[in-house]
């Protein structure tokens, strides 16, 4: 990837707006009263899913099989597990330049030059650490029991960031206090985690998985430009990263099996916020 391309990647982060992703899809309207009208013989496939959506489809009577087939196809990735659904939504929020599956339009306004600064990168690392500290504290505390599944996954980043910041300090850099993008994101996920587990899990997934993909590419580019190629601990994992990621995917899929379709959609809809907050932190690199 050349530096110009990379500049466009960074520059395109700010204006993510993909809520229409969900609006484009056909909407099923369900209410508890609809369910009262289902004859036992019509309540098909409740063993497959007890979501209101399927119940409503069953209540439609004629054409049920076709309608149900159609409804099954509504959620890309659904067949492979919920992580694939989250990934699908996330990939669409990238631009084509960022990832080949991206669909978001790149910004038309002039691109800032891809010139990471050491001050900006220090801010990025400090704010990232605050976010990982918060995520890791949340799963340790586990206000909702399912969070406990995500303790000690091997993906944790707070400790490695602490080592990097200590190393940078030794090199003579002064380490800033967390700035507004990191503080806002950290406060947001902390609040969310207490009341909205589906939305919280969306941030958890996106933060750790984005870092393992695009985050690593960015780290490499920055290191080449301003750190003489030094690879920070932030970009190293103990053990095989793809296996660690797979273990977490499996756990996320199991947790989401207990969610209704509405809860799953709620989680998917949070992806856009995750991009917005993370995008603001990423942009610190160029500040």
**What is the C-alpha separation between 187 and 168, in angstroms, rounded?**
26
Out of 164, 275, 283, 285, the only residue in the binding site for ligand HEM (CB under 6 A) is: 275
- Comparing C-alpha atoms, which of 276, 285, 284 is closest to residue 179? 284
Query: Which two structure tokens, joined as six digits, stand for 200?
Result: 């919280």
Measured from the CB of residue 241, what is the shortest distance to ligand HEM in angstroms?
10
Rule CB under 6 A: choose which of 214, 247, 251, 263 binds ligand HEM.
214
Give the nearest distance from C-beta 34 to ligand HEM in angstroms: 35
Report residue 44 as tokens: 């098909």
The verdict on 81 binding ligand HEM (CB under 6 A) reads: no
CB-wise, 55 or 91, nearer to ligand HEM?
91
99 or 111: CB nearest ligand HEM: 99
Work out whether 90 is an interface residue with ligand HEM (CB under 6 A): yes
CA angle 158, 9, 14 (to 5 degrees): 75
Whether residue 207 contacts residue 127, with contact meaning beta carbons closer than 8 Å, is answered with no
Nearer of residues 13 and 54 to ligand HEM, judged by Cβ: 13
What residues contact 30, with CB distance under 8 A and at least 6 apart?
52, 53, 55, 56
Q: What string marks each residue from 99 to 138 as x (binds ligand HEM by CB under 6 A) or -?
A: x---------------------------------------
Cβ contact 58:38 at 8 Å: yes
Structural contact between residues 6 and 225, judged by C-beta atoms closer than 8 angstroms = no
By CB under 6 A, how many residues form the interface with ligand HEM?
22
- DSSP classification of residue 104: B
Assess 150 for contact with ligand HEM (CB under 6 A).
no
- Residue showing tokens 């910041």: 165
Which CB sits closer to ligand HEM, 186 or 274? 274
Pick one of 68, 75, 82, 87: the residue that binds ligand HEM (CB under 6 A): 87
CA–CA dist 42, 56 (Å, integer): 10
Residue number with CB closer to ligand HEM (255 or 282):
282
Task: Output the residue with the shortest Cβ distance to ligand HEM.
Answer: 214
- Give the integer Cα–Cα distance in Å for 287 and 283: 7
The residue ranges that bind ligand HEM (CB under 6 A) are 9-10, 13, 87, 90, 94, 98-99, 206, 209-210, 212-214, 217-218, 245, 274-275, 278-279, 282
């Amino acid at each position: 990837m050349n530096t110009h391309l990379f500049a466009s990647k960074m520059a395109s982060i700010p204006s993510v707006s993909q809520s229409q992703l969900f609006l484009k899809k056909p909407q099923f309207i369900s209410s508890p009263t609809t369910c009262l009208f289902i004859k036992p013989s019509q309540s098909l496939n409740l063993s497959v899913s007890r979501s209101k959506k399927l119940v409503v489809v069953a209540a439609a009577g004629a054409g049920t099989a076709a309608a149900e087939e159609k409804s099954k196809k509504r959620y890309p990735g659904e067949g492979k597990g919920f992580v694939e659904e989250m990934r699908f939504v996330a990939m669409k929020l990238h631009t084509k330049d960022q990832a080949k599956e991206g669909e978001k339009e790149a910004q038309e306004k002039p691109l800032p030059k891809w010139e990471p600064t050491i001050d900006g990168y220090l801010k990025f690392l400090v704010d990232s650490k605050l976010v990982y500290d918060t995520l890791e504290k949340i799963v340790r505390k586990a206000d909702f029991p399912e969070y406990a599944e995500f303790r000690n996954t091997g993906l944790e980043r707070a400790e490695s960031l602490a080592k990097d910041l200590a190393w940078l300090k030794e090199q003579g850099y002064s380490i800033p206090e967390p700035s507004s993008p990191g503080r806002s994101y950290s406060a947001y996920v902390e609040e969310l985690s207490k009341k909205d587990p589906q939305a919280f899990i969306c941030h958890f997934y996106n933060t750790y998985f984005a870092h393992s993909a695009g985050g690593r590419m960015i780290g490499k580019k920055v290191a080449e430009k301003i750190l003489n190629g030094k690879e920070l601990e932030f970009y190293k994992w103990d053990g095989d990263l793809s296996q660690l990621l797979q273990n977490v995917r499996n756990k996320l899929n199991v947790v989401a099996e207990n969610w209704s379709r509405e809860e799953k959609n709620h989680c998917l809809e949070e992806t856009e916020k995750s991009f917005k907050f993370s995008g603001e932190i990423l942009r610190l690199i160029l500040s």
